[in-house]
Structure 1
């Protein structure tokens, strides 16, 4: 649903026999604080998206699911890691 600009985030529902499902929203421009080289602070526009993982806790422990989402975030931030 991330291709629809009206949907910034959502929660996907697991359908048996699935154990995990990933919901990816659309990108949004967000003002984030930055510190400039001269020590002053300001804001920059950053494109962000929201990702939600739903896990069947009978199959996948929530802590393991959270670790997977953490690694997924790293890959999204640096896709060249997939080549290494």
Structure 2
């Protein structure tokens, strides 16, 4: 079943995913190796990085810990766009 998110929600999910991908690559992990490291499925991580997943808080904690950052460091404010 496909979840439907508002445009604003999708923007935030995509920003989170892009930040996770940026930090993962900077840490030198492949998506598969990182998923194994933090105990999450590779396809789940792919969905997170593409902004397709509404990530559970405990999974955010796992991701942040695997990247050596605080959970808050995963969040960036998406750029404002005109309506």
Higher alpha-carbon Rg: 1
TM range (shorter): under 0.3
Structure showing the higher helix proportion among its residues: 2
Q: Taking structure 1 as the reference length, what is the TM-score of the superposition?
A: 0.23
Q: Taking structure 2 as the reference length, what is the TM-score of the superposition?
A: 0.23
Bigger relative contact order, structure 1 or 2, given CA contacts below 8 A and separation 6+?
2
